[in-house]
C-alpha cells in the first residue's frame, strides 16, 4: 500500500493534474455543519437521532466487547463472537478518530458537495457515475454471506452507539453509519490504490491521448510511491529463524493512515496489525502462526473502449454490427454554496454494455475496470485475518475479491511467499490493452479474471528471501528465484519498473547469506540510495556540470561528494535528495527529465530558502512530528527508511514528514519456537485529539528508530492503562 498526504481533508478530484491514492484519500479537516441542522441545538439533534438508533438496534441485537488499552493506548479488543468484537473495533476507532470517520463518509456516499461545497462535486459525480450504490442496493443481501452482514451490522452499531453516548464529538449529521457505508468505502479506496483515476484524467484532455489498438506489445505501467514487505526463510537467516517485515507506506494523518489494533474473539480469531479508520478488518497483520505485508501494485486494470456512435443519434453505439442504445440515468448532486444556500445540480450519466460511458469532444468512451460490481472485499480481508495456516491464507487469497496489492507472507513453519495479487482481466490475446480498444466488438468485453495460479507468485524461493517494494513482480528475489515474465499473459501490463527501495533492498539481502534479526532491522532502517538506482544517473549528470560561479562550484562539490546516505548528520543529503526527487517526479509522471543546470539552480534555491545554507545537516532539514513538537529524522524519499517531507508553512525552516514509514513491524519465528515481535507507530494511538497522551507519545522513539513489543502476547504487554466493557445498544 502507499500514499502521500498534504493535509487532512478528503480530496477525491480526478480532473486536472493526475491524483494518486494519496491525494485522493488523505485529507480530513474540521468543517462547518450542514445548513439544515441550524435552528435546533446540534447536540439535541444528535441525541434524538442517536437515541432512536439505539432503540431500533435494541429490538434486534445486542453486542458486547471488552477493550484493554496498554500503556501506549493501543486497543486490545475481545468479543465472545466475531460480531461482538466488531462492535468493539468500531468503538475503539470512534474513541481515537471519530472525526476522520464522519468527514469521509459523505465522500463514499456521494453526498460530499452538500457538506464541503463545489470542490467535492466531482467525487459525488464519480460515485454516481460508477453506480456503487445501485450495486450495493441490489447485491448486499443477495451476495454477502449472512455472517459477513452480521459482522458489518455490529461494526456499524459500534459507531452509532458511541455517537449517541458522546454527541459532543459529532459535528456533521452523517448518522446513522450503515454497513453499506463500509462496503462503499472499500469499493472506492480499491480503485484509487491501483490508479483508476489516471485513464479518466487522460480522457478529460482536450485531445485523444492514445491510439486504438491493433497489435500486441505492452510497455511498463507506472507505480506510485512506496511500501516495503520482506520475508526471510530459515535457509537465509543466521540461526534458522523465519522473519517478516510489514512496512506499508501511507500518509501519516487522515483516513488512510494506519491505526494499530489487536483483535480477538471467542470464535478463534486472534490477529494484530493495521487498518484504516472506518475499516472493520486488518489490511496488514500477524498472529502467532504467520503474518503478511502489503505493497501497492498497479498492473493494467482499466480498459477504455472507443464507441462507434451513430452520427444521427449520439446515444446509439454499434456492437457486432447492430445498434444499441446507451442506458441514460440521472445524476443529482447537492452542492453547498454560501453558508446555508444549497443547490442541486442535475446531470445525465450513461452506460454501455462495457461499463460507464464518458462523452468528450474527441469521442465517446466506455470504461471497464477490475472490481467493477464487486462488493465482497470485506469478506476476503476477514478471511485473511481469520486464517490460521498457510493453506487457509491461500484459500482466502483465492477468493479474489481484492482488486490489487502485492502480498508477502511468512509463517512459523519456515514458509515464505509472494503474490502479485490482482483482479486481472482475462483479455483477448494479441491486442494492445494499454491503448484504447475498439468498442464495436463484443469479444473484447472480458467478463472474468485470471485465476490465482495465473498471477506472478513464488513460494519458498531457493534464495531464501523475498522483497517487494513496488517494483516489477519478476525481480523480487535473487536470480533464479523470481517468477518468469514469459510464463504470464503479456496482455496484463505487468509493471517492469524498479524503485530504489527495490534495488537497494535486493543488494543488501543478496550480500548477506546469514541474516540476524539485528541485521534485518538494519536493512529495514537503511537510508541510502543505491548507485545502481535509476535516479543516480541523473544525479551524476548534475555532479558533472562545469560550474559557472563559485556558488555553483560549492553546490556541485557537495553533490559529487555525497555518499548517497540520508543520516541525520549528513551535510550533502539536502541537495542530493532534492535532485533525486526531480528525477523521481519526472519518471513517475512519464515526462522528460528537466535540464540538469535548471535542477541544480532550483535545488540550490530550495535548500537555501529552507535552511539558509547549501549544506545543512539533514536532520535539521527533515523533521518528524506534529504541531510544535518535532524531532530530527533520517531517511528520505524512496529509501528503505521511507520519509516523504514537505514544507508545511513558508515560514518553516524545515520540512515535516507527511508520509512514508508509519506503523511497521519486524517479526521473527525462531527455530526453538519463540515469537519475537517489534513494532512502532509514527505518532500514537489517538488520531485526532492533540491533548491526548497518545497523540504523539511514540513519535520521538519513531524518529530515533526505536521499536517496542506491541503486546500481542499478554505477558509482553506494557502496563495496562484502562480496561472497560462496551455494549450496545
**Domain 534-660 adopts which CATH fold?**
1.10.1400
> How close are the terminal C-alpha atoms of the chain, in Å?
35
- Residue 10 confidence (pLDDT): 27
Residues of the chain with pLDDT > 70: what percent?
A: 88
Provide CB contacts within 8 A for 717, sequence distance 6+.
70, 76, 709, 711
DSSP, res 217: -
Would you call the peptide bond into 666 cis, given omega within 30 degrees of 0 as the criterion?
no
Grid cell listed for 419: 503474490
What is the mean pLDDT of the segment spanning 634-644? 97
Other beta carbons within 10 Å of 46: 22
Residues near 469 by Cβ (< 8 Å), separated by ≥ 6?
226, 227, 228, 229, 295, 499, 501, 502, 505, 640
pLDDT at 222: 31
Q: How are beta strands 75-79 and 259-265 bridged, if at all?
A: parallel
pLDDT band at 719 (very low <50, low <70, confident <90, very high): confident
pLDDT interval class at 3 (50, 70, 90): very low
Q: What is the pLDDT of residue 53?
A: 47
pLDDT above 70: residue 177: yes
Average pLDDT over residues 706-716: 93
Question: 209 versus 254: which is more confidently predicted?
Answer: 254
Range with the lowest mean pLDDT among 40-44, 124-128, 305-309, 434-438?
40-44
How far apart CA 146 and CA 597 sit, in angstroms, is 63
Residue 124 has pLDDT above 50, yes or no: yes
Looking at residue 226, its pLDDT comes to 73
pLDDT mean over 471-491: 95
- What pLDDT is attached to residue 67? 98
Phi and psi at 128, nearest 5°, equal -70, -45
Q: Residue 668's CB: how many other CB atoms inside 10 A?
A: 21
Which whole number is the average pLDDT over 597-603? 97
Domains of the chain by residue range: 534-660
pLDDT score for 31: 32
User: Which of 247, 347, 232, 341 shows the shortest CA–CA distance to 294?
Assistant: 247
DSSP code at position 151: H
Q: What is the mean pLDDT of the chain?
A: 89
Q: What pLDDT is attached to residue 9? A: 28
Rounded to two decimals, the pTM is 0.90
Of 120-124, 350-354, 437-441, 611-615, which range is least confident?
Answer: 120-124
Residues 6 or more apart whose CB falls under 8 angstroms from that of 683 comprise 252, 626, 695, 696, 698, 699, 702
What are the tens digits of pLDDT across the range 299-357?
A: 999 999 999 999 999 999 999 999 999 999 999 998 887 666 778 889 999 999 999 99
The least confident of 201-210, 241-250, 435-444 is: 201-210
| Res 482: pLDDT | 98
Q: Say if residue 49's pLDDT is above 50.
A: no
- Confidence (pLDDT) at 339: 64
Q: What is the pLDDT of residue 454?
A: 95
Contacts of 651 (CB under 8 A, 6+ apart): none
Rounded Cα gap, residues 3 and 661, in angstroms: 11
Per-residue confidence band for 58, with pLDDT thresholds at 50, 70 and 90: very low
Amino acid at each position: 500500500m502507499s500514499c502521500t498526504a498534504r493535509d487532512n481533508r478528503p480530496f477525491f478530484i480526478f480532473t486536472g493534474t493526475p491524483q494518486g491514492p494519496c491525494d485522493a484519500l488523505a485529507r480530513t479537516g474540521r468543517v462547518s455543519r450542514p445548513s439544515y441542522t441550524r435552528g435546533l441545538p446540534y447536540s439535541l439533534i444528535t441525541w434524538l437521532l442517536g437515541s432512536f438508533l439505539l432503540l431500533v438496534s435494541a429490538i434486534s441485537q445486542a453486542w458486547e466487547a471488552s477493550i484493554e488499552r496498554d500503556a501506549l493506548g493501543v486497543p486490545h479488543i475481545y468479543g465472545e463472537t466475531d460480531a461482538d468484537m466488531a462492535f468493539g473495533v468500531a468503538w475503539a476507532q470512534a474513541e481515537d478518530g471519530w472525526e476522520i470517520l464522519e468527514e469521509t463518509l459523505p465522500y463514499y456516499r456521494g453526498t460530499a458537495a452538500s457538506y464541503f461545497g463545489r470542490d467535492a462535486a466531482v467525487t459525488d459525480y464519480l460515485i454516481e457515475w460508477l453506480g456503487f450504490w445501485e450495486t450495493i442496493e441490489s447485491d448486499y443481501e443477495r451476495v454477502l454471506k449472512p455472517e459477513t452482514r452480521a459482522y458489518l451490522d455490529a461494526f456499524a452499531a459500534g459507531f452509532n452507539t458511541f455517537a449517541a453516548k458522546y454527541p459532543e464529538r459529532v459535528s456533521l449529521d452523517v448518522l446513522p453509519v450503515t454497513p453499506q457505508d463500509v462496503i462503499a468505502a472499500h469499493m472506492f479506496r480499491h480503485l484509487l490504490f491501483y490508479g483508476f483515476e489516471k485513464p479518466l484524467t487522460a480522457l478529460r484532455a482536450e485531445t485523444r491521448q492514445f491510439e486504438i489498438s491493433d497489435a500486441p506489445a505492452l510497455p511498463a505501467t507506472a507505480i506510485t510511491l512506496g511500501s516495503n514487505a520482506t520475508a526471510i526463510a530459515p535457509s537465509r537467516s543466521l540461526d534458522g529463524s523465519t522473519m517478516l517485515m510489514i512496512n506499508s507506506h501511507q500518509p501519516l494523518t487522515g483516513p488512510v493512515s494506519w491505526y494499530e489494533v489487536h483483535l480477538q474473539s471467542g470464535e478463534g480469531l486472534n490477529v494484530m496489525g493495521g487498518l484504516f479508520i472506518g475499516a472493520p478488518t486488518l489490511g496488514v497483520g500477524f498472529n502467532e502462526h504467520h503474518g503478511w505485508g502489503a505493497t501497492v501494485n498497479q498492473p493494467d486494470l482499466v480498459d477504455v473502449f472507443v464507441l462507434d456512435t451513430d452520427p444521427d443519434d449520439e446515444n446509439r453505439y454499434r456492437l457486432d454490427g447492430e445498434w444499441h442504445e446507451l442506458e441514460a440515468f440521472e445524476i443529482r448532486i447537492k452542492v453547498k454554496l454560501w453558508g446555508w444556500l444549497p443547490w442541486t445540480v442535475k446531470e445525465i450519466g450513461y452506460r454501455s454494455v462495457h461499463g460507464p460511458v464518458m462523452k468528450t469532444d474527441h469521442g465517446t468512451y466506455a470504461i471497464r475496470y477490475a472490481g467493477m460490481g464487486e462488493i465482497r472485499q470485506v469478506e476476503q480481508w476477514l478471511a485473511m485475518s481469520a486464517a490460521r495456516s498457510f493453506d487457509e491464507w491461500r484459500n482466502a487469497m483465492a477468493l479474489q475479491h481484492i482488486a490489487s496489492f502485492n502480498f508477502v507472507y511468512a509463517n512459523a513453519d519456515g514458509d515464505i511467499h509472494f503474490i502479485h495479487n490482482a483482479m486481472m482481466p482475462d483479455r483477448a490475446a494479441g491486442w494492445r490493452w494499454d491503448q484504447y480498444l475498439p468498442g464495436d466488438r463484443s469479444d473484447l468485453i472480458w467478463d472474468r479474471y485470471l485465476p490465482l495460479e495465473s498471477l506472478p507468485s513464488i513460494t519458498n524461493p531457493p534464495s531464501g528471501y523475498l522483497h517487494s517494494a513496488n517494483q516489477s513482480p519478476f525481480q523480487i528475489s535473487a536470480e533464479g528465484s523470481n517468477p518468469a515474465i514469459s510464463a504470464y499473459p503479456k496482455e496484463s501490463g505487468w509493471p517492469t519498473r524498479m524503485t530504489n527501495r527495490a534495488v537497494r533492498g535486493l543488494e543488501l539481502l543478496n550480500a548477506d547469506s546469514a541474516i540476524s534479526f539485528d541485521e534485518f532491522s538494519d536493512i529495514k532502517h537503511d537510508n541510502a540510495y543505491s548507485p545502481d538506482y535509476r535516479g543516480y544517473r541523473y544525479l551524476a549528470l548534475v555532479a558533472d556540470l562545469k560550474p559557472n560561479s563559485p556558488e555553483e562550484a560549492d553546490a556541485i562539490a557537495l553533490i559529487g561528494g555525497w555518499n548517497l546516505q540520508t543520516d541525520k548528520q549528513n551535510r550533502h543529503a539536502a541537495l542530493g535528495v532534492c535532485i533525486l526527487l526531480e528525477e523521481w517526479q519526472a519518471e513517475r509522471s512519464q515526462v522528460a527529465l528537466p535540464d540538469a543546470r535548471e535542477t541544480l539552480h532550483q535545488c540550490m534555491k530550495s535548500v537555501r530558502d529552507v535552511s539558509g545554507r547549501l549544506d545543512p545537516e539533514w536532520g535539521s532539514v527533515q523533521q518528524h512530528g506534529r504541531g510544535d513538537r518535532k524531532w530530527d529524522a533520517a531517511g528520505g524519499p524512496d529509501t528503505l527508511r521511507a520519509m516523504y517531507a514537505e514544507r508545511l508553512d513558508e515560514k518553516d525552516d524545515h520540512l515535516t514528514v507527511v508520509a512514508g514509514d508509519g506503523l511497521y513491524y519486524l517479526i521473527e519465528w525462531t527455530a526453538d519456537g519463540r515469537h519475537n515481535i517489534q513494532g512502532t507507530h509514527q505518532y500514537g494511538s489517538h488520531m485526532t485529539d492533540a491533548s491526548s497522551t497518545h497523540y504523539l507519545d511514540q513519535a520521538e522513539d519513531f524518529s530515533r528508530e526505536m521499536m517496542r513489543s506491541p503486546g500481542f502476547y499478554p505477558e509482553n504487554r506494557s502496563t495496562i492503562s484502562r480496561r472497560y466493557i462496551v455494549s450496545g445498544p
